Amino acid sequence: MKIFHNARHAEHAGRQEMFRGRMVDCHESPARLQHVLDELARRPVGELLRPPADLPLDAALRKVHSPEYLQFLAGAWDGWVAMDPANATRDALASVWPLAQPHAFRTDKPPQNFAARLGQYAFDSGTPLMAGSWAAAREGAACALAAAHALLGGERVTMALTRPPGHHAGPAFMGGYCFINNGAVAAQTLRDGGLQRVAVLDVDYHHGNGTQTIFYDRSDVLTVSIHGDPRTEYPFFLGHADERGAGAGEGFNLNLPLPRGTGFEAWFSTLQRALQAVSDFAPQALVVPLGLDTFEGDPISGFTLRSADYLQVGRALASLDLPTVITMEGGYAVAEVGVNAVNVLEGLGT
Ligand code: SP5
Ligand code: ZN
């Protein structure tokens, strides 16, 4: 198994996120990835690689994100500091948004104020952006691109071991700790490499809203997500079972929301449903945005999977017998995230 890891991930290290009116320590930390690397040193289930520097990364990014959004991300830190030099000591967080209600706010007059511009692209105030965020996110996308290329080259299982995560990032939006949608970059790269049908099976605790939005009107990429019911769980405003795709994409999005408190047995039988849907689609490859925040000890989530369960998750994914790209998403029980992630990889085999 080729594991492309992001050697620049620690350049993104958000300090605090807004939560219910106060600032709390950011859950999405560099230590998360270090724990996975440490566990891989103990159990070397794959070969750790850096993504090649000569991959056509900008072209791949433009296939899933708008040019305006990418330009915004590339200049965001400079825009933040230009507002006020004192901002250099603080992370940028969105604080104002053009809420979509009748006769309320206009989106056809782009603001110049940076805080307002951030509100055009960020859907929450929990995604800190700092000086190194863009470099870290870009290198993570390079890992996803490399993982997809390796699959096209004949590998059976590859991984983009990276942070910040990606599955909440949409065509022109960031949020949920995500900037660039690494799973979407991988899926699109597989399509552009000649595969006719690609399935994305998102097993993070949170709905993969960004990935759903990116592929919502397409029939060539099936998106499936198992997640906490958005009526009570983040990201709240998407992820319901009646979202089935639009236009040509109708029938090619499947949401499987489960109540907070769901344990492994019910979660695993839902995984079987998801696997059946993937298999019915007859894809040539699979992308799995892998969140370990379904773990019982996760501080911000509500399912109760145990460490040993992740071996079974890996085996179940392997049963599809498809070339598979894994992307690293959430998982905030920091001390256990390494064991849980590597358990999935061990279950997957090869
Ligand atoms: C990739 C991913 O898993 N993103 C999840 C983003 C969730 N953001 C909202 C989390 C708010 C939880 N804050 C809990 C504070 C408890 N003290
Ligand atoms: Zn998550």
Q: Write out pLDDT tens, residues 133-176.
A: 999 999 999 999 999 999 999 999 999 999 999 999 999 999 99
- The whole-angstrom separation of Cα 331 and Cα 32 is 8
User: Has 27 been annotated as catalytic?
Assistant: no
Report pLDDT for 258: 99
pLDDT of residue 350: 73
Whether residue 291 has its Cβ less than 6 Å from ligand 1: yes
Q: Give the SS3 label for residue 126.
A: coil
**Nearest residue (CA) to ligand 1, atom 14:** 300
pTM assigned to the model: 0.98
349 C-alpha to ligand 1 centroid (Å): 31
pLDDT averaged per 10 residues, the chain (length 350): 98 96 96 98 98 97 98 98 97 97 95 98 98 98 99 98 99 98 99 98 99 99 99 98 98 99 98 98 99 98 98 98 98 98 95
Candidate of 23, 300, 329 to mutate for ligand 1, largest count of ligand atoms within 8 Å of Cβ: 300
User: How, if at all, do strands 22-25 and 16-19 pair?
Assistant: antiparallel
Give, in order, the Cα–Cα distances in Å from 310 to each of 31, 132, 203, 216, 291: 20, 32, 11, 29, 11
17, 20, 27, 328, best to mutate for ligand 1 pocket (most atoms within 8 Å of CB): 27
Q: Which atom of ligand 1 is nearest to the CA of 293?
A: 3
Ligand in closest contact with the CA of 183: 1
Catalytic residue among 27, 168, 206, 227: 168
Q: CB neighbours of 348 closer than 8 A, spacing ≥ 6?
A: 1, 157, 314, 315, 317, 318, 324, 326
Residue 247 per-residue DSSP state: G
